Amino acid sequence: VAGYRVAVAGATGLVGRAIVRVLEQRDFPVRDLVLLASPRSAGARISFRGEASEVKTLGANSFRGCEIAFFSAGATVSREFAPVAAASGCVVIDNSSAFRMEADVPLVVPEVNADVLPHELGRGIIANPNCSTIQMVVALRPLHRAFGLQRVVVSTYQSVSGTGARGTRALDAELELSERDEQSPYPHRIAFNALPHIDTFDAEGWSGEERKMIGETRKIMRLPALQVLPTAVRVPVRVGHSESVYASFGRPVSVEAARVALRAAPGVVVVDRPQNAEYPLALDAEGRDEVFVGRVRQDPDDPMAILFWVVADNLRKGAATNAVQIAEVVASWHRSSNATAVSSL
């Protein structure tokens, strides 16, 4: 039978379930689907193309015969099992932060840098970037090409599903309670609140999420000296991250020229008629694969700077869709070559 044997490690999580849905919706050539999670979920069933498949416990032998493995079970699991899967001949597409900044692991957003594949596929592991970074670079890439990006100041408004199932459970529980949910992954109430705290803080006061946005944006855009100044904030939204971006360039930029560049860009939808109350919204982005951009404004004091608002579904383009798009690049490259790096495909 044509197609690939595909493993999903973390299949019962928010991202894992989204990967299974996206594989189905994009009609990725799956011959067999291997669903993996911790022993807690062994025996659970997840539907794929109308059939319920059983979830198995992830172990060292789980990847035998697989050609592609998606990982979305956290960095600890990826660090232990992604090299095992790669050694057994899989191309690993990893959603965790485990390998993103390693020099010999490509960090890929297909609309921006698909060209790094496959010649940088040394270890057989491809990293999927952080969700906040993915949607920002999809919007920045066409603007950089047109105007020469120099500096980005960004504030994020990130949904609780970005923390996984524990985040959505905490929001749901707190909407019923007038106090913090004891099982919450957040240090304060998330309902009716905004927390400028995502991941742990370093000695300089930057959060892990902010550090990821800085390092990953520079790596994906191949701009190692780019100034990136993020403030990452968790808000009580279920799905969809929003970002307020201030970008300055080496060449003059206008609102109309920016909109033209954005409209022509792959994966971007411009929604920008604020007088009609039309701008990107998290609720509208949910379930969609595109990155939505609006509220484009000129810095009145700087002809080389604009501001805009960018929204995407963090579980889709921020994770699952981007990962499946990477698999599509790998598959199309494989179809057109006999290169040795993925000879088992």
Ligand X SMILES: NC(=O)c1ccc[n+]([C@@H]2O[C@H](COP(=O)([O-])OP(=O)(O)OC[C@H]3O[C@@H](n4cnc5c(N)ncnc54)[C@H](OP(=O)(O)O)[C@@H]3O)[C@@H](O)[C@H]2O)c1
Cα–Cα distance between 28 and 327 in angstroms, integer? 9
Of 41, 184, 217, 325, the one binding ligand X (CB under 6 A) is 41
Residue type, 12: T
113: contact with ligand X by CB under 6 A: no
Near ligand X by CB under 6 A: residue from 162, 215, 240, 267: 162
Is 119 annotated as catalytic? no
Cα separation, 114 vs 129, in Å, equals: 13
Q: Specify the DSSP element, H or E, that contains 25.
A: helix 14-25
- Residue 118 near ligand X by CB under 6 A: no
- Decide: 81 and 71 in contact? Cβ < 8 Å: yes
Residue 37 found at the interface with ligand X (CB under 6 A): yes
Does the footprint of ligand X cover residue 327 (CB under 6 A)?
Answer: no
Q: Using the rule CB under 6 A, is 325 a contact of ligand X?
A: no
- Taking CB under 6 A as the rule, does residue 253 contact ligand X? no
Determine contact, residues 158/235, Cβ cutoff 8 Å. yes
The answer to whether the CB of 269 falls within 8 A of the CB of 293 is yes
Q: Could you tell me the sign of the dihedral formed by the alpha carbons of 216, 221, 226, 231, in that order?
A: negative
Measured from the CB atom, is 165 or 281 closer to ligand X?
A: 165
144 is catalytic: no
Sort 59 into a burial class: Cβ within 10 Å, 0-12 / 13-18 / 19+.
exposed
Provide the minimum distance between the beta carbon of 11 and ligand X in the complex, in angstroms, as a whole number: 6
Site for ligand X in 276-315 (CB under 6 A): 314-315
Q: What single letter denotes the amino acid at residue 117? A: L
Catalytic residue among 66, 90, 144, 241: 241
Residue 84 binds ligand X, judged by CB under 6 A: no
Active site positions, annotated: 131, 241
Please give the residue ranges that form the binding site for ligand X (CB under 6 A): 10-16, 37-38, 40-41, 58, 72-75, 77, 95-96, 131, 161-162, 164-166, 314-315, 318-319
